[in-house]
Every structure is written in structure tokens, then in C-alpha cells.
Structure 1
Amino acid sequence: MTATTRILVSSETDDLVGQELFSQLDSVEVIPYDPTTTTLDERQRQAEIFVPPYRGTNRPMALMAQMPNLQMVQITAAGTDEWVNEIPDGVVLVGARGAHAGPVSEWVLSAALTQYRQWPALVRFQDQHIWAHRRFDADTLRGKRALIVGAGSIGSAVARLFAAFGAGSTLVARSSRDGVYAASEMPGLIRGHDIVVITAPLNAETTNLVDEKFLSAMADGAMLINAGRGKIVDTDALVAEVRSGRLRAALDVTEPEPLPPNHPLWSCPGVIISPHSARTVPGTNALCYSVAAQQVGEFLAGKVPSNAAIRIKY
């Protein structure tokens, strides 16, 4: 690595805060680029660190092939599954795990409350100018039990928010640790919970984890909340369960994604869908770039960044 490390950072509005934060690191040169371009200029090609944009992260993926000195790719998403198989050999891939805990856990809480307090039904009554007193069945989050699959920063934040509303949580991760069950123990845990929250990353172990068998083990009336990745859930199996009215769901991610206009999930009873927007609130880009700057700082200091993809655990 040269004495001055060159960092290629998007010039889009959401990424300007990243340019500012990276420029505060010692011995770096921040080089802007247009993430819609297909060709880098000579100065941009010399970058050792590549930072895809906050929005539409995958758009400039092909540009990596034009950077012969590339040593690190720092993305602003928490999950690295879409990039991990595209990174050139010898290049470190790093995510922004930790930055999304606040916005995404808030979305999970809002999704649970929206379902329990029957806001979709209330809005439809409002659209018809109907005073629907005692015409809907509301419930409370208090006293419920949630199984949270993914005990990282997002899953742990969800557990804290649920606790504030009087709901208990069981956390599950790949391996057990204090207060966290191992994934191998999960089959015996599913039925005793009112809510299953998915905050795990997508990998070989979690693809189609929530399949027909998993869903059938959930208690009648239980709710699935997916804030992880769409491919973690078997969509056909979920459609069958929610169509029957046995389960409910709140989904920020789907498979396929975007969800086609004619997909049956749109009209399934007891389902609410948001367009992969759980993290999309003001200031999240700054949170992501704050974590990214920390990770780049670790890399420049000769360390393996704590969010390096090879070390990510759910």
C-alpha cells in the first residue's frame, strides 16, 4: 500500500458525508466517482479502497475489474451476501454491521405493533369514513414471546425494544453464547413463541431456513417478521400459511424482490409489506459511513476490520 491510500467514494448526495468522514483519516486521498459510470478515469483506477454508494449499492459492482490496486471494498449495507462472490481474490470485503440496528429494530417494533393494533384494518375503515368502534380485534405486544433469529446488533436491539413494551425474547445465533441459543436448538424453540423475527444474514445456512417445516411449527396465530433477506423464507410455504389465516407476516424483504405486481403475497390476508425500506430514515447514511470510516481506519492500521465478511456472524 502506498504512503497515501486512495479511497474511491461516490459523488451522490447521500455519499457526501462519507467523503467528509474518510477525508478525516490520516494519509488518505478521497477520490469521487459517479456510480452510474461504466468507465473510470486513470486517477480513479488507482484506488486501493472502493466504496459503493449508499443507494443502489450494487450498481457499480463491475467497476472493480478496472482497479488493479484494489485491496478493500467497504459497503454501507449490513449484509454482504450480494457482494461476497463477486470480490476479486485477495480483496477484503467489509460491511457496515451495527449502523442499521436503530432504524431496523424500530421498523420491527412498528411492524409488530401495526399488526397487533390492527392499523391496516383501521386505515381501511377510515378510507370508508367508518367509525369502527369494536369492529376489529386488537391485541397487545405486552406478554408476547419473540424468537429472534439473528443475535447481532439488530436482533439484540429488537430484544431491548420488545422488553420495553413488556415482551420477552429468545435470541438464536449460529453458535450459543451467554443469553443466546445455538441454531441447532431452534427446532425445539419455535412453537413456544408468538413472534418470529428474522434478522440473520443470508448465507448457505440460512437460505430457505424458514421453510414449510419451520412455518408449520409456529403456533396458530403467530407472526413472522422478516427484516433480514427474502431468500431466508420459502415464499410459497409462507403464502400457503397466511392464505389459510393460520399465520400473519410483516415483510421488509421478499423473494423475489422487487415483488411483482401480480404476486399473491400482495393480497394475502394478515400480511403487511414494506419495500426493503426498514433502514431508510434520515441520518442512516451518516450512521453507515461512520461505521465505514471506523472499518477503513482499522484496515489502514494493518488490522482485519471487525466487519470483514469472513468474520460476520449472525
Structure 2
Amino acid sequence: MTTDVWLPFHPHEIAGLPEGPAYHFWDGGPEYPADPADCDFYVVPYMKGSEVAVRPLAAMAAVQVVQTLSAGIDHVEPGLPLLAPGVRLCNARGVHEASTAELTLGLVLASLRGFPGFVRGQDAEEWRAGFYPALADKSVLIVGYGSVGAAIEDRLAPFECAAIERVARTARTAPRGPVHALAALPDLLPRADVVILSTPLTPDTKGLAGADFLSRMKDGALLVNVARGPVVDTKSLLAELESGRLRAALDVTDPEPLPAGHPLWHAPHVLITPHVGGSTSAFEPRAKRLLAAQLTRFVTGAALENTVLVTR
């Protein structure tokens, strides 16, 4: 029988795809390109939201692999109960690390050095000279030390930070030093000038940066969220921003997209980017290389990379 593969790219655009499968282009449109019941390998459309990602899953009775093009899988998780046991869910580890780490560093530097104020000053033809915080000699805490967190630290390394600490779900030792468990946050947060959130969204991390977490951050500290919006409790963050005690740089928000009129848009000391951590020129070539390699493994029976769970 022919192997059916659904791709969010036209197959002729992906070099190195193995011969044999029937490739179907679907990027989330209202019409399916083929019968979902015949799909063996489903590549989830990128940045189209959970409704699109999950829509065909109930009909995919034969699917063996669901491949996301994002590092996170939270947009697919609502549909996992619809799948038969044994379906492999794979993420896009290796695709977004560089771009997300670049944006993270950009958000930190822009926030500390006052870039938003400079842009507003340029618009108003005002020369806003003065002294601004530097990243040098600051203590940084990375919460979520997977491949993205490690890539962020790689880019922080040349900036002469006073200290870089790492937190993940469980404690371990990484090449750059110890990684603390989440339980260590109450002791680590008061020491950090910059707190970077790069953790997946899970039941354990939803609302992680709530009132207690934020209250433990030192006065004047910067919170940077490149994880998922619901990792931060928006109401608690707004209270800290409006008091002037904390600053924030957010690539993700809750709700998202942030609607017009939301108070977060005009809160003091906040820089917002519209979830563009992975949306760069680096995405397509890396995503296509991943798909060509994964599909080659799939048709040859080799072990897939980036398998994050198998349905039961």
C-alpha cells in the first residue's frame, strides 16, 4: 500500500524527500487534500493554531506519526485522545533554537538598554540621553533548560554576565554547569537581574510565573518570556508592571494574539513582540531538512528523531 504523507510545504520544495510515499500539501485550508483516514504521516501546519492542528486527527485512523514544526506540542495535545495507541508525536527540536535564542538576546538587550524609549524619542525628535542598564555584570536565570535554553546560554556567554543559573523540571549536570530543579526557584529568583522563561507549557508550568514567583524577583528585575503565554499569569504580571517594580519583555502573551485594548499593550516597562521567536529566515530551510530526514527514516524503518511521546 502507498504511504500517505501530509505536508505544509509543496513536496517539490523539499530537497531529499524519499521516493515512494504519496505526498499531499495541506496548510490548514478548509478542504483536505486527500482522505484523512489514509494518512500515515501528518506534518502539522505551522503557526495555524490548535483548531487547525487538531482538526483532521479524529479522522486519521491509520496515522503513525504526527510531526510538529514547533518545539512545543501544546497546540496538538488536545487531539491526542482522538488517536489510536502507538502513534508517535515528534517535535521540531533543532529547527528553532538559533532563532529563538537570537530573539531572546535581542529582547534582553533592547529592554535593558532602553530601545523602546529611543524609538519613541526618534518619532518625537527627542534626544533621550542618559545612563541605562547593561547586560554585563548582571545575573541571569534561565527557567526551562532544554535545547532552547542551552542555545540562549550559548549566546549569553560572551556578554560577561556575573552569573548564569539554569532551571529545568529535574536537576542534572549540563556541559556549562548544574541545572537546578523547579523546586529551587524560591532561592534562585531573588538573585537574578534577568529571568528568562523558555520552558514548555505543561500542567506543571502553566501559571508558573504567578504572584508568588514574581514577588520573589528582585526590584527592577527583567522578566523575559519566549516560552508560552500561559506560563505567566498576566494579571499578576500587570500588577508588578503597573507598580513599577518589575520590567518585562514578552514574545508570547496570554491571551494571544493580544487583543486591542488589552492593558498589557500600554503597561509601563514592557516590550512586546508578536510571537516571532521562530518565525525567521532560518525556519524554512531547517524545517525542510528535518522533514526530509524524518521521512527518510520513516520509509526505511529507522528510528525517528525528536519523539516526545507515544499515544496509549
TM-score where L is the length of structure 2? 0.89
Cα offsets for 1:202-234 (capped at 9, x unmatched): 001101111101000001110000000011111
Say yes or no: does 1:215 pair with 2:209. Answer: no
Distance 2:233 2:109 in 1: 24
Contact 1:97–1:153 under 8 Å retained in 2: yes
SS of 1:262 mapped into structure 2: coil
Say yes or no: does 1:152 pair with 2:146. Answer: yes
Distance 1:191 1:19 in 2: 49
Distance change >3 Å, CA 150–CA 296, structure 1 → 2: farther
Cα offsets for 1:244-297 (capped at 9, x unmatched): 111000001111111121111111111000111111111312212323433444
Distance 1:292 1:61 in 2: 20
1:68 deviates by: 2.7
Contact 2:144–2:197 under 8 Å retained in 1: yes
Say yes or no: does 1:166 pair with 2:166. Answer: no
Distance change >3 Å, CA 181–CA 26, structure 1 → 2: farther
SS of 1:69 mapped into structure 2: coil
In the alignment of these two chains, the number of paired residues is 301
1:24 deviates by: 2.4
Which residue in 2 is equivalent to 1:279?
A: 278
Distance 1:149 1:260 in 2: 27
Structure 2: gaps of 5 or more residues: none
Say yes or no: does 1:74 pair with 2:67. Answer: yes
Distance 2:140 2:19 in 1: 45
1:188 deviates by: 1.2
Distance 2:225 2:291 in 1: 25
Distance change >3 Å, CA 18–CA 72, structure 1 → 2: farther
Alignment of 1:10-89 (within 5 A): 10=8, 15-16=9-10, 20-21=14-15, 24-25=17-18, 27-33=20-26, 35-42=28-35, 45-56=37-48, 58=50, 59-87=52-80, 88-89=83-84
Amino acid at match of 1:108: T
Deviates further, 278-287 or 156-165:
278-287
1:176 deviates by: 1.4
TM-score where L is the length of structure 1? 0.88
SS of 1:107 mapped into structure 2: helix
Query: In structure 1, which of residues 5, 8, 13 is the aligned counterpart of residue 6 of structure 2?
Result: 8
Distance change >3 Å, CA 303–CA 145, structure 1 → 2: farther
Which residue in 2 is equivalent to 1:259?
A: 258
Amino acid at match of 1:270: H
Deviates further, 77-86 or 287-296:
287-296
Amino acid at match of 1:159: E
Amino acid at match of 2:213: F
1:45 deviates by: 4.3
Distance change >3 Å, CA 18–CA 206, structure 1 → 2: farther
Which residue in 2 is equivalent to 1:120?
A: 116
Q: CA RMSD in A?
A: 2.1
Distance change >3 Å, CA 34–CA 247, structure 1 → 2: closer
Amino acid at match of 2:210: D
